[in-house]
Structure 1
């Protein structure tokens, strides 16, 4: 159950962080306005809060593992929101990152 909760929190964190960064990008680079950028800043703050809800108590481990989710999630976000089509190297790289995330986060450890 802890793995499922942790994985769900990673997904929620990715939605806030990637979505927040995308909103800032849209507001500034795509000239959609400061309301978009401001919404992005709020979403980025929520990402930071969600990361604290992970069951593991080690900040470095959580953020290192989250990096794999961020890589894969960014490619998915780009495909859905911007029409970006990842090539096979993008997909393989994202899978490598997700395997790394699983090893960092869920490997059995003597505690």
Structure 2
């Protein structure tokens, strides 16, 4: 249970960040309406707010641990939203990144 709450927060933050950035991608790379930037900006604000919910004594540590979750969320986004399957290297790399994120966030530290 200790790992579930931060993982869910990080996952939600990851999808919020990706959605916000994807709005910019659609506007600039695919010629979609600039109005997509409005929900994109809201999504990026939600992303930032979610990251502050992580229990950590350092913002940098919370952000570093987030990196592994972000990578995994990006691959899920690529599959679900963009319809492109991750290759074997992405599927191998994601759990390595999750392991690193867990180590950063949960490692025992002296007081």
Q: CA deviation at 1:22?
A: 1.1
Question: What is aligned with 2:89?
Answer: 89
How does the TM-score come out when normalised to structure 1? 0.91
In structure 1, C-alpha distance between the alignment counterparts of 2:55 and 2:11, rounded to whole Å: 14
Cα deviation for residue 35 of structure 1 reads 1.3
Residue deviations 1:19-64, cap 9 Å, x none? 1111221122112211112211221121111101111131010110
The answer for unaligned runs of 5 or more in structure 1 is none
1:30 paired residue number:
30
Give yes or no for the alignment of 1:73 onto 2:73: yes
Map of 1:10 onto structure 2: 10
Q: CA deviation at 1:2?
A: 4.0
Give the Cα–Cα distance (whole angstroms) in 1 for the partners of residues 18 and 44 of structure 2: 8
**Matching residue of 2:55:** 55
Aligned-partner Cα distance in 2 for 1:84–1:31? 20
**TM-score between both structures, scaled by the size of structure 2:** 0.91
User: How far apart are 1:11 and its partner, in Å?
Assistant: 1.1
Aligned to 1:29, the other structure's residue is in SS state helix
